[in-house]
Amino acid sequence: MARRPGVRSLATVIILAGLGHRVVGLTDRRHPVVGEEASPPTIVVSVFDQAGVSPEILTHAKDHVTRIYDEVGVTVRWNDEAAKDATGRFVIRLMIRRIASRPRMMGNALGDSRGTEGTAFVYRDRVLDVARARNLDVGVMLAYAMAHEMGHLLLPYPSHAVTGIMHTDWDGADFAQMSADTLRFTPGQASAIRVRASMIGPAVTDR
């Protein structure tokens, strides 16, 4: 789950593009008019499944990711069409097989030097292996893998932690929390994710 040089593969593609504050009556995008509240920052996510994940499992995973980020204070808007010209674009590829040299790795991610684009990878076979070994719902396991790699794209380096979703190497306690739907980002990470999502430029996804 660490950042590594990019790997290219045909797979599920998730494109994330943040939207800044959208407030009626703004004179400055970061400073709303007194008495008005800014909407939560939004991450636009486009999913393209070429890894053979069933629609039911993928829908379950997406719903779970939405809830995880909603608790952080960031709205996830799912958009199933490619946003090739999106501003602040992030891509996650759900690949069928994990890297042979790192068999335990469930995913990896890398961002650009400006922090406005990035690519992450989630390995379907590893997700399935762990879900079966830990008797976890596959959709839940996939959701946490996706949320973790999305976290790498949204958090400043180093983005791993000793607890929570960004734990370097999930253990029994982490999997128990996943099963109970209580594994989350740390408060500090939640704050950093909100800030990052708010700073990303508006997405061009509705053309």
Q: What is the pLDDT of residue 130?
A: 95
Average pLDDT over residues 150-173: 91
Report yes or no on 205 lying in a domain. Answer: no
pLDDT number for residue 153:
86
Could you write out the DSSP letters of every residue in 137-161? -HHHHHHHHHHHHHHHHHSPSS--B
The residue type at 4: R
Is pLDDT at 63 greater than 60 in this prediction? yes
Is residue 3 included in any domain, yes or no?
no
CB of 76 closer than 8 Å to CB of 105: no
Task: Quote the CA–CA distance of 44 and 79 in Å, as a whole number.
Answer: 6
Q: Which tokens hold the place of 207?
A: 């053309």
* 144-161 tens-digit pLDDT: 999 999 899 889 888 999
Q: Say which residues have a Cβ less than 8 Å from residue 131's Cβ, sequence separation at least 6.
A: 137, 138, 140, 141, 142
How far is residue 47's CA from residue 138's CA, in Å, rounded to a whole number?
A: 17
Contact 33, 26 (CB under 8 A): yes
The answer to whether position 2 is within a domain reads no
3-state class of 198 per DSSP?
helix
Q: Domain holding 123: CATH number?
A: 3.40.390.10
Q: Reduced to 3 states, what is the DSSP secondary structure of residue 19?
A: strand
Tens digit of pLDDT for each residue in 107-157?
887 765 555 567 778 888 899 999 999 999 999 999 999 999 989 988 988
Residue 142 buriedness (CB in 10 A; 0-12 / 13-18 / 19+): buried
62 lies in some domain = yes
Q: Is residue 63 part of a domain?
A: yes
Over residues 4-27, mean pLDDT? 37
The residue segments making up the domain with residue 183 are 12-199
pTM of the predicted protein model: 0.75
- Summary mean pLDDT of the chain: 74
Average pLDDT over residues 43-57: 79
Orientation angle between helical segments 187-199 and 138-154, nearest 10 degrees: 60
The count of domains in the chain is 1
| 1 occurs within a structural domain | no
What pLDDT does 87 receive? 40
In this prediction, residue 6 carries a pLDDT of: 42
The per-residue pLDDT for 158 is: 85
